Amino acid sequence: MQAWTVDHCAPIDDGPLRRLERDEPKPGAGQVRVRVSCCGVCRTDLHLVEGDLAPKRPAVTPGHEVVGRVDALGPGATRFAVGDRIGVPWLAGTDGTCRFCRRGAENLCLEPRFTGWDIDGGYADHCLVDERYAYLLPDALDDEQAAPLLCAGIIGYRALLAAAVPPGGRLGIYGFGGSAHLTAQIALHEGLRVHVLTRGEQNQRLAAELGVDSVGGAADASPEALDGAILFAPAGELVPVALRALDRGGTLAVAGIWLSDVPALNYADELFQERRLRSVTANTRADGEEFLALAERFGIRATTTVYPMSEAPRALTDLAHGRFGGAAVLHN
């Protein structure tokens, strides 16, 4: 089979990915093999390829928004049948025994494994998944629509919960790409007022098309004080900007796995009055199941730009340079 691999970590414009011929993987105990139909392109893939996140093993295949059909079962795998359409997400495994797993916070597991970082992901013809961490996908979503939900959607949903906006409250969204445009739809369906602050004309246009309450530039002042905000842009300099936009008691949730350095904060203007700053780390399987059910119920639609799998580097380059709105999806 063909598989993209990270040859060496380098800026995406310098060609760090290489496509190799590899043996089809054989599913181990409790695993199933997926014949990849689509794989979404997440900003985390870019951080891994460019070395912002340290590699965990050489020549890994990226991709953790994988949609495909089960085409082989490992010993003891009983959850799915051959032919089932499943999604393979970022969280690939946990130890199940650490203090965080035991209290239902498996997203904080001390020994987690991630698709496309610890184990080979979906920028390939096939990949493997521990059946306990895969999702059966709702029929209402086609492959291309389902792919971006598997990380961008689920993590955005967890960030929305973390921002703790009360019913009917005011949400700020900083940065408006693959994850934000899905999260905004959930927030609007839940009756929140949504203010989007982002750079990029395409991102601003997409936000306006989705019917948010206002759209402004990334560092603009919010038109009203915010009960909660989510920072999707990997830009630490926006942390104080977003904190200043919060009302008393408001929460800023940082959704990304990587953020540039946060500048010094001013306690009086940016944290006092019980404003909170918190991060969002991966997700639990319960977050994923809950989000996919909501996505089906609300009819959440991903705006996608499709590339053939053979052009994975171009998709990542376009992501790095902000050349598309919404989410990129690779198609086999």
Other beta carbons within 10 angstroms of residue 307's beta carbon come to 19
- Residues contacting 148, CB < 8 A, separation 6+: 40, 65, 178, 182, 302, 304, 326, 327, 329
The gap from C-alpha 231 to its chain's centroid, in whole angstroms, comes to 13
Tell me 28's DSSP state.
-
Q: Which of 235, 319 has the CB closer to Zn ion? A: 319
Residue 105 Cβ, how far from Zn ion at the closest point, in Å? 9
List 135's β-bridge partners, or say none. Answer: 87
List 171's β-bridge partners, or say none. Answer: 194, 228
Q: Which of 36, 101 has the CB closer to Zn ion? A: 101
Residue 278 Cβ, how far from Zn ion at the closest point, in Å? 19
**What does each C-alpha distance from 244 to 61, 112, 220, 260, 297 come to in angstroms?**
40, 34, 11, 19, 35
Q: Which of 210, 327 has the CB closer to Zn ion? A: 327
CA pair distance 267, 55, nearest whole angstrom:
36
Q: Which of 95, 209 has the CB closer to Zn ion? A: 95
Residue 292 Cβ, how far from Zn ion at the closest point, in Å? 15
Q: Which residues are near Zn ion by CB under 5 A?
A: 42, 44, 94-95, 98, 101, 109, 151
CA pair distance 130, 324, nearest whole angstrom:
33
Residue 16 Cβ, how far from Zn ion at the closest point, in Å? 18
Q: Which of 171, 282 has the CB closer to Zn ion? A: 282
Residue 178 Cβ, how far from Zn ion at the closest point, in Å? 8
